[in-house]
Amino acid sequence: MTIIFEIENIKMEKSQRTVVKIITNNFMKGNDIVQQKTIRFLKRKSTGFNQLLEDCMNIGTNDALKSIVNLDECSDGVYEVVLNDWITDWETGMIEDRNWKLIPYIDKG
């Protein structure tokens, strides 16, 4: 299933925001050393439609995580998921692909 959004629908409105908490864990499991990064959606701080969660359900978690451009650079903390860039089809003008960026969350009241 291919999901295509119009540019007007994908722009993040002020009333729409997705807030996540990043937690990194390091531990040993048998003879393995494991580094685990958890992204937890914060429902009470988020409003509107959660596009990143929708991407996880439709295109898979692996591809959805690859679309976050600065995930490896982010340390533990609370971040807002914002639209970073999108690629449109040259014939239809519809969005074919997009990527996300995590910015530090600032509580606005």
pLDDT digits (tens, 9 = 90+) for 5-36: 444 444 544 578 899 999 999 999 999 999 99
CA-closest candidate to residue 80, choices 27, 22, 37: 22
Q: What residue has token string 């509580």?
A: 107
Note whether residue 2 is domain-resident.
no
Q: What is the pLDDT of residues 67-103, one digit of tens each?
A: 999 999 999 999 999 988 877 778 887 777 788 999 9
pTM of the model: 0.77
Note whether residue 28 is domain-resident.
yes
What is the domain extent for residue 16? 7-104
- For the chain, what is the domain count? 1
- Token pair, residue 33, equals 């050393």
Note whether residue 74 is domain-resident.
yes
Which amino acid, 53?
Answer: L
Note whether residue 109 is domain-resident.
no
